[in-house]
Amino acid sequence: MVHLLAVSGSLRQASSNSTLLRATELLRPKGLLVTHYEGIGELPHFNPDLIEHPPEQILELRSIIAQADGLLISCPEYARGIPGSFKNMLDWLVSSEAFPGKPVALFNASPRASHAQAALRLVLDTMSARLIEQASITVNLLSTPLSAQGIADDPVMGPQISTALEAFQRHLENQGL
């Protein structure tokens, strides 16, 4: 079983990015498990003084990341950048052994969010993540907000997401995870 950890960059209850990640559960191919990390809003502010002895939530975050075969990230754009709470989580992972080499697929719920996507790519590359291009997609939930089921049933988005998940799964299986 291939295990993907989905992390949304939005804390908003009705977040399009979180809903997009929820839709992956409805579309996941056989042999792929998707779980969600929803703790970014409760993480303490990053402080380099605490790297050696990080708070309990950070140890838990690192352990959850370490257990996942790959990360599925979907993050909005705020003021042409990465939302602070999501960047805060990434900063805690910079010095973590769990992160370098971690396969990551970037999902994007808005075709307008090009600055945040570019910034995320730069940050993830700096953190030595392995960005899996064939599993990274942009869908348009900006003009038409949909439920997870609505996204899964959409004739364009549904197959696009399935194809991305299959590509991610194939990539991880071929790498021997």
Ligand X SMILES: Cc1cc2nc3c(=O)[nH]c(=O)nc-3n(C[C@H](O)[C@H](O)[C@H](O)COP(=O)(O)O)c2cc1C
Residues near ligand X, by CB under 6 A = 10, 12, 15-17, 76-80, 109-110, 112-113
CB of 120 to ligand X, least distance (A): 13
CB of 52 to ligand X, least distance (A): 34
Dist. CA 166–CA 18, nearest whole Å: 20
First-to-last alpha carbon distance for the chain, in angstroms, is: 10
CB of 13 to ligand X, least distance (A): 9
Residue closer to ligand X (CB basis): 74 or 96: 74
Residue nearest to ligand X (CB): 76
Dist. CA 129–CA 121, nearest whole Å: 9
Distance of CA 102 to the CA centre of its chain: 12
Dist. CA 152–CA 147, nearest whole Å: 9
Residue closer to ligand X (CB basis): 139 or 172: 139
Q: What is the residue-wise DSSP string for 128-160?
A: T-EE-GGG-EE---SSS---HHHHHH-TTHHHH
CB of 129 to ligand X, least distance (A): 21
Helix, strand, coil % in the chain, rounded to nearest 5: 45, 15, 40
Residue closer to ligand X (CB basis): 80 or 101: 80
Residue closer to ligand X (CB basis): 16 or 136: 16
